[in-house]
């Protein structure tokens, strides 16, 4: 039996939809290399929005995943998805029901409570702004202010890791390691347990860089994706990371979330 190589998932929420999207992305990783297209449909407040999503899912295919906390909207989606024979998954409903039974109380059913405007929220916003400002060695002064400093050659997921960790409220600076440019002296001055080295298999990096060149419309045989050049860069990076004495994680076959989890575990132990 031939399996479909791609599908579409509509993530419906009466808030921003981050929770639903994160769960779907985590599940989709288990089916790699199959393609799972995620369409986030946030801030659903009326049944008209649900009708639109269900009509699209019926005509174009796909399943519906939802994190609706308003009972009327949740029930409406369940009933109408059933009538249209559209597969759906209620992510929050069963969990809220079980918690309600355990706590012997009703949930508030108020959308968007995962992002209250409190001290933690503003700390997260500050961390995201920090990651943007000190991304890819734009300003090396961030090295001394950062909670975490990522180092590695180009295309080792430094930027997506910085943003992921920023959403965990960590201030992250990242420094590209290039043979033609020695890293700043201040990189050796920060505590080595704040520095995280990122390593990758040269063949894997070659594939990633070739794909990047294709995306940019450039020739795949450019120096950027040359195997010997890649090995030179990785050798240089290994020397720098050895000199710093920092921990090094191999990102070759890891999703950003998985690498971030390893980094967070390490930072927690280092404290």
pLDDT band at 141 (very low <50, low <70, confident <90, very high): very high
> Does residue 73 lie in a domain region?
yes
Last residue of a domain, one of 103, 132, 155: 103
Query: CA 165 to CA 131: how far, in whole Å?
Result: 9
> Does residue 113 lie in a domain region?
no
Query: CA 133 to CA 128: how far, in whole Å?
Result: 9
CB contact at 8 A, 250 and 152: no
Answer yes or no: do 225 and 188 share one domain: yes
> Does residue 68 lie in a domain region?
yes
Answer yes or no: do 89 and 141 share one domain: no
Average pLDDT over residues 102-119: 70
DSSP string, 16-65: --HHHHHHHHHHHGGGTTSEEEEEEE----SHHHHHHHHHHHHHH--EEE
CB contact at 8 A, 111 and 72: no
Query: CA 41 to CA 141: how far, in whole Å?
Result: 39
- Answer yes or no: is pLDDT of 1 > 50: no
**Nearest C-alpha neighbor of 71 from the set 61, 79, 82, 63:** 79
Answer yes or no: do 259 and 137 share one domain: yes
> Does residue 1 lie in a domain region?
no
- Answer yes or no: is pLDDT of 7 > 60: yes
> So what's the pLDDT on residue 30?
86
Answer yes or no: do 96 and 126 share one domain: no
Distances in Å between the Cα of 220 and the Cα atoms of 98, 176, 210, 230 are: 54, 22, 5, 14
Answer yes or no: do 128 and 219 share one domain: yes
Average pLDDT over residues 255-262: 93
Last residue of a domain, one of 46, 77, 103: 103
Q: What value does the mean pLDDT of the chain take?
A: 90
Answer yes or no: do 192 and 92 share one domain: no
> Does residue 77 lie in a domain region?
yes
CB contact at 8 A, 146 and 194: yes
pLDDT band at 66 (very low <50, low <70, confident <90, very high): very high
Report the CATH number at residue 244. Answer: 3.40.50
Look at the chain and report how many structural domains it folds into: 2
Last residue of a domain, one of 74, 103, 132: 103
> Does residue 110 lie in a domain region?
no
Answer yes or no: do 88 and 159 share one domain: no
Task: Please enumerate, by residue number, every residue annotated as part of a binding site for ADP.
Answer: 152-159
Answer yes or no: do 177 and 217 share one domain: yes
Average pLDDT over residues 91-118: 78
Longest dimension (CA), the chain: 65
User: What is the span of the domain harbouring residue 66?
Assistant: 6-103
Contacts 24+ apart (CB under 8 A), 136-141: 136/174, 136/176, 137/174, 137/175, 137/176, 140/175, 140/184, 140/186, 140/187, 141/186
Answer yes or no: do 178 and 131 share one domain: yes
**Nearest C-alpha neighbor of 227 from the set 207, 247, 255, 199:** 207
> Does residue 32 lie in a domain region?
yes
- Answer yes or no: is pLDDT of 221 > 80: no
Answer yes or no: do 32 and 136 share one domain: no
Regarding pTM above 0.75, the answer is no
Report the CATH number at residue 81. Answer: 3.40.50.2300
| Cis ω for the linkage preceding 134 (within 30 of 0) | no
Task: Please enumerate, by residue number, every residue annotated as part of a binding site.
Answer: 152-159
> Does residue 109 lie in a domain region?
no
Answer yes or no: do 131 and 60 share one domain: no
Eight-state DSSP code of residue 258: H
**Nearest C-alpha neighbor of 190 from the set 239, 137, 143, 241:** 143
- Answer yes or no: is pLDDT of 162 > 60: yes
Answer yes or no: do 127 and 233 share one domain: yes
């Amino acid at each position: 039996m031939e399996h479909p190589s791609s599908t579409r998932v509509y993530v419906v929420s009466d808030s921003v939809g981050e929770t639903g999207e994160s769960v779907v992305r985590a599940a989709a990783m288990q089916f790699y290399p199959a393609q799972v297209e995620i369409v986030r449909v946030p801030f659903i407040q009326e049944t008209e929005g649900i009708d639109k999503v269900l009509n699209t899912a019926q005509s174009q295919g796909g399943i519906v995943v939802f994190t609706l906390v308003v009972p009327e909207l949740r029930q409406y989606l369940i009933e109408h998805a059933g009538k249209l024979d559209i597969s759906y998954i209620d992510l929050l409903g069963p969990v809220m029901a079980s918690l309600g039974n355990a706590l012997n109380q009703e949930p508030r059913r108020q959308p968007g409570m995962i992002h209250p405007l409190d001290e933690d929220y503003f700390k997260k916003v500050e961390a995201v702004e920090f990651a943007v400002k000190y991304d890819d060695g734009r300003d090396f002064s961030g090295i001394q202010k950062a909670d975490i400093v990522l180092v590695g050659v180009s295309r080792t997921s430094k930027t997506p890791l910085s943003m992921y960790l920023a959403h965990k409220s960590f201030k992250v600076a990242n420094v590209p390691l290039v043979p033609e440019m020695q890293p700043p002296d201040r990189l050796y001055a920060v505590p080595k347990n704040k520095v995280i080295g990122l390593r990758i298999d040269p063949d894997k990096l070659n594939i990633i860089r070739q794909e990047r060149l294709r995306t940019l419309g450039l020739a795949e045989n450019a120096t950027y994706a040359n195997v010997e050049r890649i090995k030179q860069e990785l050798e240089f990076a290994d020397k720098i990371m050895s000199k710093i004495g920092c921990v090094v994680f191999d990102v070759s076959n890891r999703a950003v979330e998985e690498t971030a989890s390893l980094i967070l575990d390490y930072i927690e132990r280092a404290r």
